[in-house]
Chains A and B, each alone.
Chain A
Amino acid sequence: MYKIVDKKVMAEGTVCQLEVEAARVARKAKPGQFIVLRVDEKGERIPLTMAKQDLEKGTITIIFQVVGKTTAHLGTLEPGDSLADVIGPLGMPTHIKKYDGPVICVGGGTGVAVLYPITRGYKEAGNEVIGIIGARTKDLLILEEEMKGVTDDLRVTTDDGSYGHHGFVTDVLKQILEERKDVKMVVGIGPVPMMKFVCKTTEPFNVPTTVSLNPIMVDATGMCGACRVTVGGKTRFVCVDGPEFDGHQVDFDELTKRLRMYVEEEKKSYELFKQKHA
């Protein structure tokens, strides 16, 4: 069992942060890697990314949006409660190096939680890092302070204009790419449509663009192939080959469809959960 030691609720209760005891995972975790967790004996295995780890306490911090039964269940847990399983760190770490030009880290929604340790990694490697984070509205924005601490310049956008730039992260990204011809790398992490448009934005500028994919997984050790995606016309397993890929090569439309594979079952499961917890 993996004990929850701290909990924070963000973004008007739609996003939740849990700090969980998992010493082995904390010791090994590198930016870009993820974990799989199971809430209880009847739970499913879901992949989530770690935002932070604390070596001394032997804990990892996960941030998730409440979108269905498992995340809703997770959201009801309190410090002192335990998770049945935490497995990781899984996937390949981000290949972080020093570039001779700025790196832009773009995050949308809870994708910012995934983006944050990667951004910190680039900063610690001595890069000039520009951050762009966005949300639908001001109250849904997460980790602004943290991102500020690991970027040279942080831009914020909201879809409704309630805070920062009124519009999408891609607007700001395009503007920077037009101004700065020396951008060497873009990292885009967030909902699938956002990542798709980040890649569309960077393509004409020929800037390498990395995305981090979050498909459905079961074992997450390469055994099942549930997480397969098409990258550059080839099938890859996100759990062992990823989760990061060259965004210009990813078939986002296929990924979107595969993510909807169990949409009916997910709805049913969530409804039952809500009835039980009403």
Chain B
Amino acid sequence: MAEKGKQKIPRQAMPEQDPKVRAHNFDEVPYGYDEKLAQLEAQRCMQCKKPQCVKGCPVEVEIPQFIKFIVEGDFAAAARQLKNKNSLPAVCGRVCPQENQCESTCILGKKAEPVAIGRLERFAADYERNHNLVTIPEMAPATGKRVAVVGSGPASLTLAGDLIKKGHEVIIYEALHKPGGVLVYGIPEFRLPKAIVAAEVDYLQKMGVKIETDVVVGKTVTIDELLEDHDAVFLGVGAGLPLFLNLPGENLCGIYSANEYLTRSNLMKAYKFPEYDTPIALGKNVAVIGAGNVAMDSARTALRLGAETVKIVYRRSRAEMPARAEEVHHAEEEGVQFELLTNPVRFIGNEDGWVTGMECIRMELGEPDESGRRRPIPIEGSNFTLDCDTVIVALGTRANPLIPNTTPDLKLNRRGYIEADPETGKTSKEGVYAGGDIVTGSATVILAMGAGRKAANAIHEYLMSK
């Protein structure tokens, strides 16, 4: 097709479940492109000689090349091209904030809408998996070096894939009973089906990565013990401890951290209670405090668990909400309501100790604060009570001290996160590297993967020079 004609093709939407239907089931929201739609969308790519999109990707996926394979109809080749740089394309195609990364730098976006790179990535990866075309890549000869990887979230999975290909022995130690980290306990089934995570983990195992679950590093074994029989250690343990507001009544029954609420539903499958043993509060009126992606995931989970009303309570305005536009859009379509410029003051409970309401105060925006966003200021006398029987606090996390507590020579920053070189992941301790949320604080899946990639390169260099 001529260049002109390409530009006339509009950005292709991804078919998805009707909002009214999907608000009551845990099935994935979008169905994904079929082959025809994918090829139509792929044709929009200009195949730039100096592709800006690649610069926007934290792991530098060879975007024009994989899209070209889709145009040509060689979908498996597209997937293999993706996997050169991104070990988890089916995951990233679903949860990456492409609008701030590759798609934000796509040249088409200047005049019209950018190429739907994320949707194409998802399509290629799904095609390969669903058609059993996944092949084990060529492996370097064994080096005899052993690497311990702590945690099995996106940073660790990326690093494990890279290092096993380079011929090192890789053993992942996971604290929970299932590998995948936040991909398994945090992101809900309707946004990232767990079968996809399982397939990615299975792929790593087929390449030879060993995974030991139920190992809480810092408790079951220490870093120093790991260093006795491993040549290097990577810490990709995630951020950990949930933040609370420290408001009166916060320990009433029915008040959850988003971590707990999502872990119960996602990892423990509480949405299938009593088939699964773990229960979860089936609130009628649910309030979610915060407006990030995790808040949206919590709100949408509450809807699917049968809530009649679900309200996002956020102290700033819509413009400042940290969640991806797509997540906010999906939540709103499904019926989640927004109480913006509203902040909780205290929680109110009944005599059984259950939450029955939340006293809130209205806010207005003042001058910008250090984050550059306008500072919310309470409007005196605007207090009101919001009735609710379940509250989910989704305000982010802080560093988990489990590992630092038993590793005194590991240097931390002021906020308790592990100090690591941003280019290599090298920590203050010989042979120990770190990456992902435990270094940066809560961030995204792809940033953690980028950190895993850099640390894998640095560890490889370290091992080969030893």
Contacts and interface: CB of A to CB of B under 8 A. Distances in A.
Interface string B246-265: 10001101101101100110
A221 B273 contact: no
B36 interface: no
A170 interface: no
A223 B279 contact: no
B226 to A, nearest CB: 12
B277 to A, nearest CB: 4
A86 B219 CA distance: 13
Interface stretch (A50-58, A192-200, A225-233): A225-233
A254 B260 contact: no
Given A221-B400, A235-B251, A24 B220 contact: yes
Nearest to B250: A235
Contacts of A25: 220
A222 B177 contact: no
A90 B214 CA distance: 11
B214 A87 contact: yes
B335 interface: no
B176 interface: yes
B228 interface: no
Interface in B204-233: 213-216, 219-221
Interface in B303-354: 352-353
Contacts of A24: 215, 220-221
Given A42-B277, A222-B400, A269-B279, 16 more contacts: A44-B277, A88-B216, A89-B219, A89-B220, A218-B268, A218-B278, A222-B402, A223-B240, A223-B241, A223-B242, A225-B257, A229-B251, A235-B246, A254-B251, A257-B353, A261-B254
How many A residues touch the partner, as a band? 35 or more
A77 interface: no
A224 interface: yes
Interface string A31-44: 00000001000111
A205 B57 CA distance: 66
B220 A28 contact: yes
B37 to A, nearest CB: 37
Given A240-B402, A257-B352, A221 B216 contact: yes
Interface of B: 175-177, 185, 213-216, 219-221, 240-242, 244, 246, 250-251, 253-254, 256-257, 259-260, 263-264, 268-269, 273-279, 281, 352-353, 400-402
A222 B241 contact: yes
B274 A268 contact: yes
A272 to B, nearest CB: 6
B352 A42 contact: no
Contacts of B246: 235
A75 to B, nearest CB: 15
Given A222-B240, A235-B246, A260-B352, A240 B216 contact: no
A262 to B, nearest CB: 5
A187 B253 CA distance: 28
Nearest to A2: B214
A44 B278 contact: yes
Contact of A265 (B185, B216, B219, B273): B273
A244 B257 CA distance: 23
A84 interface: yes
A221 B175 contact: yes
A192 B279 CA distance: 22
Interface in A35-73: 38, 42-45, 69-70
Contacts of B215: 24
Contact of B277 (A43, A229, A257): A43
A139 interface: no
Contacts of A235: 244, 246, 250-251
B253 A70 contact: no
A193 to B, nearest CB: 16
A13 B312 CA distance: 49
Given A38-B177, A225-B244, A235-B244, A218 B216 contact: no
Contacts of B177: 38, 45, 84-85, 87
Nearest to B349: A257
A269 B260 contact: no
Contacts of A87: 175, 177, 214, 216, 220
B352 A225 contact: no
A33 to B, nearest CB: 8
A266 B277 CA distance: 9
30 contacts: A25-B220, A28-B219, A45-B177, A70-B277, A88-B220, A90-B216, A218-B260, A218-B278, A221-B216, A221-B400, A222-B402, A223-B241, A223-B263, A223-B400, A225-B241, A225-B244, A225-B257, A225-B260, A226-B256, A254-B353, A257-B253, A258-B251, A260-B253, A260-B352, A261-B254, A261-B281, A262-B279, A265-B274, A269-B273, A269-B274
A159 interface: no
A219 interface: yes
